Structure 1
């Protein structure tokens, strides 16, 4: 090494130095222990072929927010000038420098350029016909065969190395330290707290996330038929009246689309759909959503009951009724054995997400084909389906459930969807300032029955989605009067993030809230820095919905009701724009915050939790109901004036 440095002092030394790409290598990834139920079996034969794939680092993520505002800000000349999936892939694709650097390294290692191919998603380089001997030399490693308890073999190694100047251009390489799903060393370094393994893919299990709460059963003769009775029961006609939605009148159905996202084992029952439609929309009897099956997802009937059918029945019955005759798409994610996470869904609608920032986390997300057998044995869905113009999801985690890195990676994907003109809606939670199941935090961010720190939801705190809270008709009130924050059975989730900074589009509204109505809490209860994302953004009724469930009518409650309702309103706004030759509205928030008059301001009610009264609804934006509830007439009038 000393001689090498001394050579730099003489003019001819450069001719004696090795090429930078074959310089001393450093460890890029290392695995300290084998994954559960895996064991080392044997050395790999030197002539065995290695399907080497190199995940390249993406570019331009630092300007994603600025680009999103250009197509979402109502004052921008580029409003609604949405990007295509191809443009998204190209813009965030690895830079030419990254591609050239990695290919030059491969060539310096003796791998001819003709053997290297960049994938259509642009995020990978594939090396053809590589032997174990070549791969071991390239990566300064030793390959072995590992076997799972099920008998499945896997080619891998304990660590591998690349040159320093190449490392920054590579997320990870397979097959190496990864077992059936990529997880890179960078992710482990960025973990800031311990989280429960596998919680992300349990989102569809009963009583997990923001699944609706069950109320009283109803006999058919007791179901309301008059608008004056909507204070005790909510039916489709109540919502159409509350939010001034058009009745069965659409002009661009063939051009429009609306997606409802569900996670197995949650599943609708066809008999429940028909029972609901027979009562409220007879001409829809027999209609079913269009199924986009993700990683083996299907409307399962093996497990039934409110805990398995309540969410999907609710979402689809109201979405299908409110946007009829448009037929929504059902994105059903995950098989009944393993389940799925939000990441698994995002993989299916964006092929570039499958590899972004090292890919999904196998300790949290569904791994397909199922490595343990018994589940979905097909290839993981990656860019299989196109996203719909509106995506409504009635599920949510707590921010504390997942690592900041996991959340930030996913949040960036919602920005990409917004750039493509997709409206992404998530319910904000049903336990006020507490998390799912009323969980609160201690000062160090862990769960505790005696915790007093507020527990914000995710993705509700991601600045690139629209978070939907819940309201209710006031006791003895009607659809023609102002609503209040939901305080029947559930409380509208709301508060402030512990992870994401405040986006510029909501700065004025949130700062005004703090100046005029400062909450009576300190930093001991919530992030009161006034620099972080506040949520929700918008709300809709979330109490006393009548649904058909397992052969009977029940009342249900939750922001699970609110999200598909707002999604239906926006889908109808899109219909009007599409009929006028315009594009869908896309990411809502910049326009909503710039034009709060389009919404019905909610000024009463709160969202108690964590041993406190929570926040309070006030004039303007608040962390209970956001900017208020939608008024279709005002929304469509404004959006039709925009490009």
Structure 2
């Protein structure tokens, strides 16, 4: 924090006139200049300058083709996943971009190459300058401002030579500003954080059942025996030899497990799992696990209690993300997943795309966290290897984050797919809407009418998972229906499976035929709009947006141990780890015969939907409508359907 202290000690500087050469243009300009306790910085103050370079344009244009090369079943390159080094090299800024910027720094700013430090992936160049040098280089004026919550160093606008516009994304500190010394605020407890982020509640106790292995009451309580029967998943061989490199990853934010809860679940429902069985912990930026029963989170308990018994004796890896302060704050505002992606790919820490570079302090945690109770270490970059399969049960609305932020993050999911990583994300629990907001009681856009797609499950390079249910009076041998309990106001967890069409991403090629067939055979009849332009339309959803979810699994009446007792829960956050577990088991069988992980599975499943159980009943109400109806083939509430393990296994084992 030496930089912050130096700035605080400065006095106001005297403004001087700036003459802008004719070959220079404004590169960025603040819409509204800051005014809070604002003062000029003295010329001698040193600034840590960073220039974000535009990533390789050819790489962006070719990225989808590259991913399809290793993911499409008819490709001769199927399964030939890239190394991380190959991905970094492909997306690095072009050499002429690096040269153009460094030449300009030397010729116009007197910043010799010895002072410049390029990152390993060449995504940005770093150097320290005085305010005087920075203002001369960028033809601007630097200020310090204080809005009462945090102090910021930046400028209202800056200029660059016109020939650099195609090479430079943005400069920091600049219009974006550099934040430091965040003010101390109330630190929410982990318990508060869990409840703020949780999209479901637990029923006090499940219905009585004398035999947890019985299939007679699966319409009331879903156990692992029910799940295995639904999807033809074989009972595990506890003594089987498994690959130590095929653990299943589970992302957890603001929710940590208690070993006592895991052991209670194992003892009551999966006695073939020994008490004390626990996941591998990958702690990111102060994430802590396990915790005591009082501080444990229901999301962590449910996800692990679903995954561990299904994939046993394979292991799980928990990515426990962020310290208590940030997880609490992120539950209600801010972005998600960037600090996690930083930790499993160091190049993402500085990756530039769509005007976004590195973590965004307006949405992402800042480390070291100077606030009381915060993680004091440096932000973790590239310290963990991603597992072959990652399950995520968290989401936000697309409308809550800038499109550029989401697109940059979506690039990273694509890069993970190139490396053979399968990522599964819950599709949400509010049908076509979302949880209530201060300006929208039903969580919908434009006066509560426009459907609200979720982030990050609308990214085309993830597998979005919706939820199904065994309805009362039905058995595991009957077809499932889309999960929807909204009509029953007395239900312990009223929700409907999230689904719809993105306002940010278009329909990917692998999905185009399925989406077209849906509109031809089951058009919902609602007015719609195109290209995400909901603000200037009377339509309810984006007709040419990426459809989600892709697949589904059971997500209701799930039995789980939490808070030292047995409860019932559900949601698409139960469906995601179930489907992810199936794919993790398939990876294990491929590894046994010398093949690699399946990676991004969407192209294979859309090309062979017959390996899934098509769901044809149910809807996902929201925004004052019935939402979408389940139909033959793909639909925007259960996707292509639920897994059938033997059929999926045969298909993926037949591929290279």
- TM-score (structure 1 length as normaliser): 0.84
1:270 corresponds to which residue?
Answer: 259
The match for 1:584 among 597, 609, 623 is 597
Superposed CA deviations along residues 20-51 of structure 1, whole A, max 9, x for unmatched, are x9974333344577879x755774453x5543
Q: Secondary structure, in 3 states, of the residue corresponding to 2:326?
A: coil
Is residue 44–residue 145 contact of structure 1 (8 Å, CA) maintained in 2?
no
CA distance in 2, matches of 1:433, 1:153: 39
1:487 corresponds to which residue?
Answer: 484
Q: Secondary structure, in 3 states, of the residue corresponding to 2:620?
A: coil
Residues paired across the two proteins, number:
594
The answer to whether residue 491 in structure 2 is matched with residue 476 in structure 1 is no
Superposed CA deviations along residues 397-437 of structure 1, whole A, max 9, x for unmatched, are 12222232222222222111111111111111112222235
Is residue 203–residue 395 contact of structure 1 (8 Å, CA) maintained in 2?
no
Shift of 1:326: 1.9
Cα distance change, pair 144–502 in 1 and its aligned pair in 2 (3 A): closer
2:342 corresponds to which residue?
Answer: 347
CA distance in 1, matches of 2:243, 2:376: 36
1:57-206 superposed matches below 5 A: 57-59=54-56, 60-109=59-108, 110-127=110-127, 130-143=129-142, 157-180=155-178, 205-206=193-194
The answer to whether residue 24 in structure 2 is matched with residue 25 in structure 1 is yes
CA distance in 2, matches of 1:115, 1:82: 37
Shift of 1:164: 1.7
CA distance in 1, matches of 2:275, 2:290: 20
CA distance in 2, matches of 1:260, 1:353: 20
Question: Cα RMSD (Å) of the superposition?
Answer: 3.2
Is residue 210–residue 436 contact of structure 1 (8 Å, CA) maintained in 2?
no
2:490 corresponds to which residue?
Answer: none
Shift of 1:221: 6.0
Q: Secondary structure, in 3 states, of the residue corresponding to 1:253?
A: coil
2:229 corresponds to which residue?
Answer: 241
CA distance in 1, matches of 2:394, 2:348: 20
The match for 2:541 among 524, 527, 535 is 527
CA distance in 2, matches of 1:387, 1:512: 35
Shift of 1:180: 4.5
1:499 corresponds to which residue?
Answer: 504
Shift of 1:553: 0.3
Cα distance change, pair 324–454 in 1 and its aligned pair in 2 (3 A): same
Q: Secondary structure, in 3 states, of the residue corresponding to 1:268?
A: coil
Q: Secondary structure, in 3 states, of the residue corresponding to 1:211?
A: coil
Superposed CA deviations along residues 607-630 of structure 1, whole A, max 9, x for unmatched, are 222222222212211112111100
CA distance in 2, matches of 1:615, 1:535: 11
Q: Secondary structure, in 3 states, of the residue corresponding to 1:227?
A: coil
The answer to whether residue 372 in structure 2 is matched with residue 377 in structure 1 is no
Shift of 1:551: 0.7
The match for 2:450 among 450, 453, 465 is 453
Which stretch of structure 1 is more off in the superposition, 510-519 or 539-548?
Answer: 510-519
Superposed CA deviations along residues 571-603 of structure 1, whole A, max 9, x for unmatched, are 001111111111111111100000001101111
Cα distance change, pair 210–637 in 1 and its aligned pair in 2 (3 A): farther
1:258 corresponds to which residue?
Answer: 248
The answer to whether residue 206 in structure 2 is matched with residue 218 in structure 1 is yes
Is residue 72–residue 590 contact of structure 1 (8 Å, CA) maintained in 2?
yes
Which stretch of structure 1 is more off in the superposition, 349-358 or 218-227?
Answer: 218-227
The answer to whether residue 620 in structure 2 is matched with residue 607 in structure 1 is yes
Shift of 1:53: 2.6
Q: Secondary structure, in 3 states, of the residue corresponding to 1:533?
A: strand
Cα distance change, pair 373–207 in 1 and its aligned pair in 2 (3 A): closer
Cα distance change, pair 348–335 in 1 and its aligned pair in 2 (3 A): same
Unpaired segments ≥5 residues, structure 1: 1-20, 183-201
Shift of 1:132: 4.5
Shift of 1:538: 0.4
CA distance in 2, matches of 1:553, 1:326: 25
Shift of 1:393: 0.7
Is residue 338–residue 364 contact of structure 2 (8 Å, CA) maintained in 1?
yes
Is residue 425–residue 567 contact of structure 1 (8 Å, CA) maintained in 2?
yes
Which stretch of structure 1 is more off in the superposition, 626-635 or 50-59?
Answer: 50-59
1:570-581 superposed matches below 5 A: 570-581=583-594
Cα distance change, pair 629–438 in 1 and its aligned pair in 2 (3 A): farther
2:183 corresponds to which residue?
Answer: none
CA distance in 2, matches of 1:35, 1:372: 24
Is residue 22–residue 105 contact of structure 1 (8 Å, CA) maintained in 2?
no
2:51 corresponds to which residue?
Answer: 54
Shift of 1:121: 2.7
